[in-house]
Structure 1
């Protein structure tokens, strides 16, 4: 090999190394964000599943306070 191709190879490897150093933090940040998004999504799904399980065990009959409030609302509508 002569000097010119060797210098060209060294320059190309230097540029590729600098490019890798510039891109690496962005790639690490993107991967970290995706991992955090996945963890948040899994936590939300687990919470929804827990709330669905919890709400299915509850009674569907409204409380006395709701009946009282509904009765008062209907009286107001009739009187006005």
Structure 2
């Protein structure tokens, strides 16, 4: 291998290295964005599943509702 070929090879390696250094942050950002998008889709899927489960459940009045209804009925009886 001659000196000229060695310099050419070295120059190509340097150019490739600079290209990788310039492109690497973009690739890391794209991978990061895709991971976040996947997490958002999974969270939305879980929320939809929970909404479907809660709408199919029978509704039971809370303690506050039961207490308020009891007080209203007492007022009607006493008046």
TM (normalized to structure 2)?
Answer: 0.72
Q: Which runs of 5+ in 1 are unaligned?
A: 60-80
Counting matched residue pairs gives 59
| Structure 1 residue matching 2:34: 3-state secondary structure | helix
Root-mean-square deviation (Å) = 1.0
Per-residue deviation, residues 57-78 of structure 1 (Å, max 9, x unmatched): 146xxxxxxxxxxxxxxxxxxx
TM normalised by structure 1 equals: 0.71
Distance in 1, matches of 2:51 and 2:8, equals 64
2:19 corresponds in structure 1 to 19
The alignment status of 1:37 with 2:37, answered yes or no, reads yes
Displaced runs of 4+ in structure 1, greater than 4 A? none
Map residues 1-80 of structure 1 onto 2, 5 A cutoff: 1-58=1-58
Could you list the runs of 5+ residues in structure 2 that have no partner in the other structure?
60-79
